[in-house]
Amino acid sequence: MRKHDKIYVAGHNGMVGSALVRTLEEAGYHNLLLRTSKELDLTRQSMVESFFEEEKPDYVFLAAAKVGGIHANDSLRGQFIYDNLMIEANVIEQSRVHGVKKLLFLGSSCIYPKFASQPITEKQLLTGPLEPTNEAYAIAKIAGVKMCQSYNHQYGSNFISVMPTNLYGPNDNYDLESSHVLPALLRKFHEAKIKGEDSVTIWGTGSPKREFLHVNDLADACLFLMNNYEDPSLVNIGTGEDISIKDLALLIKSIVGFEGELKFDLSKPDGTPRKLLSVEKLSEIGFRYKISLEEGIKSVYEDFKDHYSKYSC
């Protein structure tokens, strides 16, 4: 990408989109096209058509999505599959129609089979059943990947897809009804500390293992791939390292300074037993993450405390 190219970041107010904007601006890309969901509803075909006709972006980062944790994915299945299918179909199609030079589609590691062998390589897509609690979201994301690949095959488009692992960072979602595990635990421990509570309850057994990547590292990887990767096959983006939910909780407990005990609610689902991405392909291309989990959580906790009144409303 050239510094003056028109770059559309879809979903710029979200955690991933805002990190992409920061990274692009720091790298000298200032001709950014940004629209809020109120200004441009990506689920509405006519609005997306009008936007692309008027602005004609050169490059697109498709980070807009309906996202959430286990509870949100399980209870809002219809909303998750509809919104995500519409968003990606509209943006990818209009990128083709209006000659976008390159599009980067952000998927999710939940697209891989529930019992995929570990670490999960890109070739394991569609080789087994999905985790039921986020199946609707995963199917929508798989459709986005296949749409990009199909457009490359039929129309000669240059659309690439990346699969991030579990993300955290500035501008995360701390709503306990819809957040992912790391921000949910961070908020739970903080509130338990300030209220002087004796314990914090963790969903499930604490045994599942998860991989976590700071969103700034993801944004760096996306910019790197946009400028250095042309193949239509998937690219995993992660750290190649994972941690059990129990150990994650203990790490966050220590960082927050909560002195109570952990309790485990065995009536709640664990989700996928383990989900560690193979990052061998990304490493071979020439990228590696920089922010350690402990360092990242410490910085995120400082940001969370600064904005806690907003999250607790």
Residues designated as active site? 137
Q: Is 141 annotated as a binding residue?
A: yes
The reply to whether 163 sits in an annotated binding site is no
Q: Is 30 annotated as a binding residue?
A: no
Ligand-binding site membership of 269 (annotated) = no
Ligand-binding site membership of 40 (annotated): no
186 a known binding residue? no
Hey, what are 218's tokens?
């993801």
Q: In angstroms, how far is CA 200 from the centroid of its own chain? A: 26
Structural contact between residues 264 and 206, judged by C-beta atoms closer than 8 angstroms: yes
Q: Binding residue per annotation — 213?
A: no
Q: Is 248 annotated as a binding residue?
A: no
239 is in an annotated binding site: no
Nearest-angstrom CA–CA distance, 126 and 234: 13
**How many residues does the structure list for the chain?**
313
Is the bond leading into 170 cis (omega within 30 degrees of zero)? no
Distance set, CA 57 to CA 155, 157, 163, 262 (Å): 18, 14, 23, 50
253 annotated as belonging to a binding site for a ligand: no
Nearest to 297 by CA among 185, 200, 191, 175: 185
Q: Distance between CA atoms of 30 and 3, rounded to whole angstroms? A: 7
Tokens at residue 289, please? 């993450």
- Note whether 18 and 61 are within 8 A (CB): no
Any binding-site annotation on 203? yes
Q: Which amino acid is at 119?
A: P
Say whether 188 counts as a known binding-site residue: yes
The DSSP result for 88-144, as a single string, is HHHHHHHHHHTT-SEEEEE--GGGS-TT--SSBPGGGTTSSPPPGGGHHHHHHHHHH
Q: Is 109 annotated as a binding residue?
A: yes
Instruction: Provide the token pair at 298.
Output: 């410490």
Q: Is 133 assigned to a binding site? A: no
Known binding residue 13? Answer is: yes
Binding-site residues sit at: 11-17, 106-109, 141, 164-167, 180, 188, 203, 210, 270
Binding-site residues for substrate sit at: 188, 203, 210, 270
Binding-site residues for NADP(+) sit at: 11-17, 106-109, 141, 164-167, 180
